[in-house]
Amino acid sequence: MKPERNSLHQQRLEAILARYRDTAPRRGAEKRDLLRLWHEYVSPLKGRLLLAILLMLALSLQPYTWIFLTRLVADYILQVGQPVATVELATRYYWLIGIFLLGCGIQLGGIICAWQYNYQITYTAQRIVFALRRTLHEKLTSLPLSFYDRTQTGRLLTVVLDDVATVQASITGTAVNFVTQVVMVLVGAVIICSLNWKLGLIILISLPFYVANFRFFRPRIREANIAARRATTTLYNQVEERVTAIRTVKVFGRERAEVRHFLEASNNLARLTMHIVRLGNWQNFLATFVSTGAIGTVLYLGVRELQTGSMSVGAVLQLYASAGYLFAPAVILSDLAMEVQRISVVMRRVFDLLEADPEPDDRDDAVALADAQGDIIFNQVTFTYPGDEHPTLCEVSVQIPAGKQVAVMGPSGAGKSTLLYLLMRFWDIDNGEITLDGKPLREITLRSLRDRITLVMQEPIIFSGTVAENIRYGRLQAADEEVRRAAADADLHEFILSLPDGYETVVGERGMSLSGGQRQRLALAASLLSRPSVLLLDDTTSALDAATEARVRRTLNRIMRGRTCFVVTHRISTALASDLVMVLEDGRLTQFGAPADLLNEDGLFQRVYQQQVGEADPAAV
């Protein structure tokens, strides 16, 4: 039964590796990523890194110094194997005092080097990680919405949090360790060969076996590390999704099923981790086997040399101990090979994120808008989402005079929200042109465009923090009085005053302590505080009751007087209160005009009016 169990385990492991295997490996990517890491992040700190390496070298070479002192004690103080000569006692005392003082100096120097090394290596690591985190954060804010639409949140969390933490813990220490261990191997080889070149040759002959050992395990460890990182991403993403959707999980009673899914993902990661450990253990076992055989041989032959008088006791002890310290760095280098593989996988993920295409850059002739009237024109606008076969908006042409309130209506998937997103330039259109006050959007700097146009989304996101901080998010320099005025404009001021700490009340993560309508009014207050020229409301009043919606509409009529406002809505009452109505069907503009005019036309607007008014008052149908 045991072989069968092992076979099943191996089959399961192969299935996990196949699931996360790199299906499109890039030749030379590992070398390029490590070189990029050096040039962009490590090279500016190469002075401190070099100092850390020199300090670590001083610490690493201490064992050879102590071995040499041991040889002096054996040969010149104890004089092992030689007859005691009374006349040499005074000389021995001088040797003893000298070695004692030298040992104290070495110990004190080691303490100072260790203190300086810890400071320099920590400072260097923190500077590298700070620069990397800053670059990642700037990149995340510059990426278009299309990137977030196709990328799992768990993957981003893994890169920004887990992968950067791996860099912080490993990158500088790995670089320093690699250099110091290589030097220790070279120094040890020189010492052994200088003591007895024949015995040194035995040690050097055994070293190529380490290279063969490394080359055998390297691709397997790398594959397992890639799979482990992807399994970690899957685990992060699953936890993030389920915690976010915990209400849905509880509604459908899926708690046990989600626990099983989590355990399966955790088990996959555990299997991969143990697989990496097994590979590493085999690698270290073979390295230790070679080193033990070589050192044992050297010890045996060294004793034979001692018996023939070719070597002293101190020399044999120095040879034996130096051989041990020679192979120890070789074993560490084998471990570092695993660490380098792990870092290369991490850096590949980081650089993949950094190389993602950002939002379109401003054109060279783009200008910044100090203000805008709000005159908007769509001229034969066509747009297709990446990966879709059919356009979401097709040849939409409409002119919106400044200061008008426009209701955008249509069935789900008609392109209503997309229309607002194109105004914000979350995406660039495929064909046609959109202008603001006669100027194409592409000729306006993105930052100033979004200062003039503000979007309140259908499901607004509320950040953890106080109510005042959320309202002030779009305009951090706003005074307290302006914050209160914006809250009053959004019909939220009285509610905020009823909270325990008023405007300083801390709302929970994602605003879960607020109702849907309160979250939307809070987001509306933040938008109003920025005093936009064009306000876009993506079905934001759908969660409000009729009385609150009416108050907010009256507020908008006052605040947006003389400014342009687009409202995506399914409510006929909102459309009737607007100046103009746009009706989209299958991405095309099928109706446009004043609400009263559209009521007299056969079309979607008239049908929606009849349905909603009929539900409210059957006699009116």
Residue 341 contacts residue 221 (beta carbons within 8 Å): yes
Q: Residue 86 pLDDT more than 50? A: no
Q: What is the DSSP letter of 363?
A: P
Residue 146 contacts residue 427 (beta carbons within 8 Å): yes
Q: Which of 92-101, 252-261, 349-358, 437-446 has the highest mean predicted lDDT (pLDDT)?
A: 437-446
* Residue 153 CA to its chain's centroid (Å): 10
Give the pairing type, strands 564-568 and 439-440. unpaired
Average the pLDDT over 449-463 and give the result: 81
Q: Is 598 helix (H, G, I), strand (E, B) or coil?
A: helix
- Rounded CA gap, 375 and 84, in Å? 108
| Angle, vertex CA 456, rays to CA 451 and CA 457, nearest 5 | 130
Q: Report pLDDT digits (tens) over 396-427.
A: 999 999 888 899 999 988 889 899 989 988 88
Q: What is the DSSP letter of 397?
A: E
Helix axes 2-20, 197-244, angle to 10 degrees: 70
- For 245, half-sphere exposure in the C-beta direction (CA atoms, 13 angstrom radius) is 14
pLDDT at residue 470, as a whole number: 86
558: amino acid identity, one letter: R
607-614 own/partner pairs: CB under 8 Å, 24+ apart:
608/409, 608/570, 608/572, 608/575, 609/572, 612/571, 612/572, 612/573, 613/572
Which of 16-20, 87-91, 486-490 bottoms out in mean pLDDT, i.e. has the lowest? 87-91
Question: According to CATH, what is the number of the domain 2-21+28-354?
Answer: 1.20.1560.10
pLDDT confidence bin for 541, thresholds 50/70/90:
low
pLDDT at residue 616, as a whole number: 46
Q: Residue 368 pLDDT more than 70? A: yes
Helix H or strand E segment including 263: helix 255-308
Specify whether the backbone of 359 is left (phi greater than 0), alpha (psi in -120 to 50) or beta: beta
pLDDT at residue 187, as a whole number: 81
Residue 434 contacts residue 555 (beta carbons within 8 Å): no
469: amino acid identity, one letter: E
Helix H or strand E segment including 454: strand 453-456
pLDDT at residue 452, as a whole number: 86
Give the pairing type, strands 564-568 and 405-409. parallel
The torsion of the CA quartet 542, 544, 548, 549, rounded to 10 degrees, works out to 0
The rounded percent of the chain whose pLDDT value lies above 70 is 83
Determine whether domain 376-620 maps to CATH 1.20.1250.20.
no
Examine domains 2-21+28-354 and 376-620 and report if their fold is the same: no
Average the pLDDT over 446-470 and give the result: 82
Helix H or strand E segment including 394: strand 393-400
For the chain, the structural domain boundaries read 2-21+28-354, 376-620
Mean pLDDT estimate for the chain: 79
Q: Which of 118-122, 149-153, 537-541, 610-614 has the highest mean predicted lDDT (pLDDT)?
A: 118-122
pLDDT at residue 381, as a whole number: 93
- Residue 436 pairs in a beta bridge with 376, 439
- Rounded CA gap, 217 and 416, in Å? 56
pLDDT confidence bin for 431, thresholds 50/70/90:
very high
Specify whether the backbone of 99 is left (phi greater than 0), alpha (psi in -120 to 50) or beta: alpha
pLDDT at residue 617, as a whole number: 46
Average the pLDDT over 190-202 and give the result: 78
Q: Residue 270 pLDDT more than 80? A: yes
Q: Which two tokens stand for residue 117?
A: 């090394």
Residue 398 contacts residue 408 (beta carbons within 8 Å): no
Q: Report pLDDT digits (tens) over 102-159.
A: 878 888 988 898 899 888 888 888 888 888 888 888 888 888 777 777 777 767 777 8
Rg of the Cα atoms in the chain? 36
Residue 461 contacts residue 473 (beta carbons within 8 Å): no
Q: Report pLDDT digits (tens) over 278-335.
A: 888 887 788 778 777 777 777 777 777 777 777 777 777 777 777 767 766 766 776 6
